[in-house]
Each structure stands twice: as C-alpha cells, then as structure tokens.
Chain A
Amino acid sequence: MDTQWRVYEVFHQQSRGEPHVHVGAIHAPDAESAIVMAKEQYGRRQACVSLWVVPSDAIVGTSYEDVDIFDHGTDKTYREPYGYQTTKRVRAQSTKRPRSMRETEGATG
C-alpha cells in the first residue's frame, strides 16, 4: 500500500500586502494536516503571516512547450508607458510658441 500521502503545494506570505509565494510542497493526508505540517517545514524561520496549501493535482499550468504563446508577435508598445513620446512632443510644440513665453518656463534643456 502506498503510504506516502498526497502532495500539497505550499504558498507563503511574508507580510500583509505581499503576495503569497510558492515555496515548495509537502506530503500530507488532508488539507488541515497539510497546514499543520507545512507550518514547520516552510514557516519555521522566515517571517510569515499566512500560509496556503493547495493539492498539487488541483494546479493546472501551461506547458513549457507552449512558451511561445507568451511571445509578442506584433507591436504591443501601445500598451506600455515607453510606447509614447509625450515629453518630446510637448517640447517640440513649445519651440513654436513666442520666445517670451519659453523663457518664463525656465527651460533648462
């Protein structure tokens, strides 16, 4: 008979406001015992305010073979801050304004 118990993945939160981070896995017969045992295997040294355990077989993930689904096939810079040239454009506009106005802005470069 297999007596090594099922596997639970363990997630550890170091302090409120931080995300729960995956730190490893343990063997446990059920969720409550998993918490009791994970507390000492994964919470005995670092600060911890919350632990989660999740049965490993409840986790569904992508395959590394499909890593290309995360590639960007076309230009996606329109959804990034660096995809815009706001400063450059404002400056270009300001050079067209009368000289006196530019001076009061104290333009340094």
Chain B
Amino acid sequence: MTTFANAESVAGEVKDALIDLIYRLADDDLILGHRNSVWTGLAPILEADIAMSSLAQDEIGQAVAYYTLLHELGEDDPDTLAFARGVEDYRCASLTVLDRGDWAFTTVRQYFYDVYKTHRLAALTESAYVPLAQLARKVRGEQKYHMMHSRMWVSRLGDATDESHQRMQAAVDALYGHALGLFEPTPHEAVAVEAGFCVAEADLLAAWRAEVEPMFEQAGLTSPGDAKPVYGGRRGAHAAELQTLLDEMQQVYRLEPTAAW
C-alpha cells in the first residue's frame, strides 16, 4: 500500500477525500464532547460525574488533534474551525448533535458512539495517511477506557430495575436510527477507501452490529428492527439543534471574533 507521509504528499481529489474524513472525525468529537461536558457538576452521583467529564475532555481533546491535522492540510486553525464555521460546514452525525437527554439517553448514545469509534480507530491505525494513523494509535488507550465505561453503564442499567430498563429501551429506540447515521456514505468514500485512508462505512457498520447485538442480549435490550438511518450530517444537512448548539458555543467568541480569549 502506498502511504502518504504528510500533508505535502496528498493532492487533488485524494486530498479532498482525506479532509472530508478528518472533518467527520473532528466534528463528531467536538459536538459530542460539548454535549457530554454539560454533565459536569450535574451527573447522578459524584463518581459518575467525574468520569463523564473526563470523557468530554478526551473527546474535545481529540477534536483539537484532528483540527490540527486539518490545519496542516491547509484548513483554518483549530479555534477558527471550531468556532467560526457556518452550521452547514459541520460534518458531524446527528447522533452527536441531539440534546443530552437523561442519563439513559447519554449512556446509550455514548455506547453507540464508542462501539463505532473503537472500530473506526482500530482501522485508522492502519491508515495510509501516516499522521492520522499515528494519532489513532495515540488515542486508542483513551478509547479503550471509554468502551469500558460505556459497557459498564449499558450492561448494568439495561435490566437493573423496571424504570432503568424502560428508560434505556426508550433511549435505544430513539437513538438507533441516529447511530446508523454515523455510517452515512459520502461522495468521497470511494476515493478515501481506495487511497487506504479508511475502511468502507458498510464494513464498519457490520462490525458495529456484531458487537452491539450480543451486548444488548446480555443487557436485556432490543434493537428496533425497523430503524431507518438518519442521514444528512455527513453532508452538512443538520437539524435545527445544531444551530442552537453553535449559538451557545460561539456566544462569547463572537463578542470579539478576532481577539485572543
């Protein structure tokens, strides 16, 4: 396989495909990290609060790392990318955009995302774009912990009490289609796969399903058979919730967009 050592070694449609891939990674992490960070100080118990806050920090931290790769590829600096783009420029999946909901909603969403992210990162460690492969290897330890954390919550809350089961199943029903939207095909996919930057979305989805199903069986949860994937996020078509989130996130930044904060 041909590898691409750095930003200078990619060009044309290959470069466009790489940039599109990294935007998806970065924006998912930023937006989900933002949602999770709001739990800090408000989670069900102090110990859970601390752990959830670390997840948020890891996600935002990984977003920074991806934005830095984009900057090397000629895009704006990380803060400008995070704070000064229009809503249609974001490439996050709808799963990450939804408001935080209750603890069941948060932990089910996190579980869906973590299974996806674990397989995504595993494949990226072999990416033909060397800086991306290096980054994926560096953050796998964090991701391993996120997976432990997610499995801990889903396996316990799934069938602990009637209430916890109901809430978890409701979250699964509400989120499943959005989770499938993580694997939305993009016009750049064929080129990116061909270049060896990433694996096909369909392959990731198969790995995701193969992991989620046995866990749900153990946790007493059921996947909705008829869930339709919620697409649009990967091409910048978002629900109004993302604009609300960005208004909130950019509120102070917009007071003096050119100033240091």
- A positions within 8 Å CB-CB of B: 4-5, 26-29, 32-33, 36-41, 44
Q: What are the interface flags for B26-61 relative to A under an 8 Å C-beta threshold, 1 for contact and 0 otherwise?
A: 000000000000000000011110110110000000
B149 at the interface (CB under 8 A from A): yes
What residues of A have a CB within 8 angstroms of the CB of B152 in the complex?
32-33, 36
Contact A44 B54 (CB under 8 A): yes
Contact A40 B54 (CB under 8 A): yes
Contact A37 B148 (CB under 8 A): no
Contact A29 B50 (CB under 8 A): no
Q: How many residues of B contact A (CB 8 A)?
A: 13
Q: How far is the CA of A70 from the CA of B46 in the complex (A)?
A: 38
Query: Please, which residue of chain B has its CB at the minimum distance from the CB of A29?
Result: B156
Q: How far is the CA of A32 from the CA of B148 in the complex (A)?
A: 9
Q: How far is the CA of A27 from the CA of B149 in the complex (A)?
A: 16
Q: How far is the CA of A51 from the CA of B259 in the complex (A)?
A: 44
What residues of B have a CB within 8 angstroms of the CB of A39 in the complex?
51, 145
Contact A26 B47 (CB under 8 A): yes
Q: How many A-B residue pairs have CB under 8 A?
A: 31
Contact A36 B45 (CB under 8 A): no
The 8 closest A-B pairs by CB, nearest first: A37-B47, A40-B51, A40-B54, A40-B50, A36-B152, A41-B50, A26-B47, A36-B149
Q: How far is the CA of A5 from the CA of B45 in the complex (A)?
A: 10
Query: With A33-B156, A39-B145 known to touch, is A28 a contact of B47 (CB < 8 Å)?
Result: yes
What residues of A have a CB within 8 angstroms of the CB of B54 in the complex?
40, 44
What residues of A have a CB within 8 angstroms of the CB of B145 in the complex?
39
Q: How far is the CA of A27 from the CA of B152 in the complex (A)?
A: 15
- Pairs A–B under 8 Å by Cβ, sample size 19: A4-B45, A26-B47, A27-B45, A27-B46, A29-B156, A32-B152, A33-B152, A33-B156, A36-B51, A36-B152, A37-B47, A37-B48, A37-B50, A37-B51, A39-B145, A40-B50, A41-B47, A41-B50, A44-B54
What residues of A have a CB within 8 angstroms of the CB of B48 in the complex?
37
Q: What are the interface flags for B79-92 relative to A under an 8 Å C-beta threshold, 1 for contact and 0 otherwise?
A: 00000000000000
Nearest Cβ distance between residue A30 and chain B, in whole angstroms? 8
Q: How far is the CA of A38 from the CA of B47 in the complex (A)?
A: 8
Query: Please, which residue of chain B has its CB at the minimum distance from the CB of A30?
Result: B156
Query: Please, which residue of chain A has its CB at the minimum distance from the CB of B149?
Result: A36
Nearest Cβ distance between residue B40 and chain A, in whole angstroms? 12
Q: How far is the CA of A38 from the CA of B48 in the complex (A)?
A: 10
Extra A-B contacts (10), CB below 8 Å, given A5-B45, A27-B45, A39-B145: A26-B47, A27-B47, A36-B51, A37-B48, A37-B51, A40-B50, A40-B53, A40-B54, A41-B47, A41-B50
Query: Please, which residue of chain A has its CB at the minimum distance from the CB of B51?
Result: A40
Q: How far is the CA of A40 from the CA of B46 in the complex (A)?
A: 11
Q: Which one of A26, A37, A38, A40 has the highest number of Cβ atoms from chain B below 10 Å of its Cβ?
A: A40
Query: Please, which residue of chain B has its CB at the minimum distance from the CB of A3?
Result: B45
Q: How far is the CA of A29 from the CA of B160 in the complex (A)?
A: 12
Query: Please, which residue of chain A has its CB at the minimum distance from the CB of B152?
Result: A36
Q: How far is the CA of A107 from the CA of B133 in the complex (A)?
A: 66
Q: How far is the CA of A65 from the CA of B152 in the complex (A)?
A: 42
Nearest Cβ distance between residue A35 and chain B, in whole angstroms? 8
Q: How far is the CA of A33 from the CA of B154 in the complex (A)?
A: 12
What residues of B have a CB within 8 angstroms of the CB of A32 in the complex?
152
